[in-house]
Amino acid sequence: MASRLLCFNKPYGVLSQFTPEGRWHGLKDFIDIPGIYVAGRLDADSEGLLLLTNDGKLQARISDPRYKMEKTYWVQVEGEPDDAALERLRHGVQLNDGPTLPARAQRMEAPANLWQRDPPVRFRQSIPTSWLELVIREGRNRQVRRMTAAVGYPTLRLVRAAIGPYTLEGLAPGTLRDVPLP
């Protein structure tokens, strides 16, 4: 069987596994291709790019932190991060499981053509929200959420926009496409 690499836009509420659990859906609700596996994970309450492949070596290369494949996230946070918070993210943040590697962090406008989330993100009239773009090379459990909380700006919505050269561009939630192998 020929090797395949697929990009999937994982909706909110879907696990990075084929089997559903509790209130969360599984990938089997969206993907019916035998012999493919997830390369890396994305929490059920996060959205965006997930890579899948039928090639075990490629799966390891994508998901193993030793290969340092960059992951780009669009993060809607509560509040408006100041320059000091961005600098902390850029230098690495101390988390309960140790310091993070430095991230690329910048403010951004709300992503163009971003779909509505179901259910919608909670809003509080007295607290503004803003968007950040964070690029990291690690993949610890809930790392981006913990990083923004550590600098005082809790994450409200998290969308993975890219993994290395692969992006969400043109990919609606719940859809997938084959991409060329690296």
Q: Around Cβ 151, how many Cβ atoms within 10 Å?
A: 18
For 10, residues 6+ apart whose C-beta sits below 8 A from its C-beta are 16, 27, 42, 46, 47, 48, 49, 50, 173
Cα(123)–Cα(143) distance, integer angstroms: 23
Indicate the Cα dihedral angle 164, 168, 174, 177, nearest 10°: -70
Dig out the tokens for 41 from the structure. 């994970």
Q: Catalytic residue positions?
A: 43
Where do we find the tokens 């070596």?
57
CA neighbor of 89 nearest in space, from 57, 136, 51: 136
